Amino acid sequence: MSLQDKVVIITGASAGIGYDLAKRLATEKATVVLAARSEDKLQHLGDELSAGGTDVLVVRTDVSDPNDLNALVEQTIDRFERIDVLINNAGVECFCHFEEVETDEILQTIETNLTGAIVLSRLVVPHMLQQGSGAIINMASTAGKLCPPYGSVYGATKAGLIAFTLGLRGEYLNLGITATAICPGFTRNGGIYDRIVRATGKKTSLALGGTSTKAVANAVLKGIHSGPPEIIVNWPPMRPAVVLREIFPRIGEKLTTAVSRRFLRRAAKMTSDEKNATTSENPDQPRV
């Protein structure tokens, strides 16, 4: 499937992986619909892409708000009359000590990373069925394959996205709609991981490896073109660790926890410190 004139919705296009991906889709001559909450950043990107000749629609969207998702689909159909690709990329991280995570953070993480993607897909699939074709790309994570310590809520949303992808495939593949879960490792040149590294001054263990926004964009294009169930984007390859954990759960668990624990404990401590600083600045602020 060439992307020339294909209409692609991408959520979370204002920063990190989504921002670089939107630029890449534009070079592939796709028509892009940019969605996120930061309208100024989206507009800036939209202007840049339009100046390069790309047909762009910018729609301020909070993916945790079903009204916004309805408006995103309606505006896309009004303007382009079809949706060829949906990239559910918007996401928030939640690396913290589980006993400290607040209820509203849990809900926000699930609503942004998982519910938003499911509801938006539900709104888009009827249009794809009518067209007889479409591709849904869900930006999961290696955390959805090997949920790390201090990332249980985040990992649960990503595992949910992987399961959701499989369900869609079973139902729609023979009707022309593919679904692919992309599972990037820590992405070193922008986005969530990069911010943690800059804040803590520490990187992950070499054994855990990582990836780049360019490699993630390549995987998304492969997902759109050939529609595999899942692409793990990481160097060194991570699938052997996933298989090891399936065959020997305890050994696999020890290995994967050992390589990720130290880094993510630092990320969790950073979250605790930030919360404590906010609470001491605003002692009356309620903790949910």
Ligand X SMILES: NC(=O)c1ccc[n+]([C@@H]2O[C@H](COP(=O)([O-])OP(=O)(O)OC[C@H]3O[C@@H](n4cnc5c(N)ncnc54)[C@H](OP(=O)(O)O)[C@@H]3O)[C@@H](O)[C@H]2O)c1
Angle between helices 16-27 and 39-51 (to 10 degrees): 20
Least distance in angstroms from the C-beta of 24 to ligand X: 13
Which range binds ligand X by CB under 6 A, 11-19, 163-171, 242-250, 280-288? 11-19
Question: Catalytic pick from 19, 154, 172, 193?
Answer: 154
- Tell me, residue by residue from 108 to 127, as one string, x for binding to ligand X by CB under 6 A and - for no binding: ----x---------------
85-88 and 56-60: which strand pairing? unpaired
Q: Does position 150 bind ligand X by CB under 6 A?
A: no
Residues in Cβ contact with 53 at an 8 Å cutoff, skipping those fewer than 6 apart:
none
Nearer to ligand X, 104 or 171 (CB): 104
CA angle at residue 14 from 194 to 93, to 5 degrees? 45
Q: Does position 148 bind ligand X by CB under 6 A?
A: no
185-214 residues near ligand X, rule: CB under 6 A: 186-187, 191-193
CA angle at residue 219 from 157 to 135, to 5 degrees? 70
Least distance in angstroms from the C-beta of 96 to ligand X: 15
Q: Does position 184 bind ligand X by CB under 6 A?
A: yes
Q: How far apart are CA 92 and CA 10, in angstroms?
A: 15
Q: Does position 260 bind ligand X by CB under 6 A?
A: no
Q: Does position 64 bind ligand X by CB under 6 A?
A: yes
Written as six digits, the tokens of 104 are 């509203």
Catalytic residue status for 154: yes
Cβ 161 vs Cβ 88: under 8 Å: yes
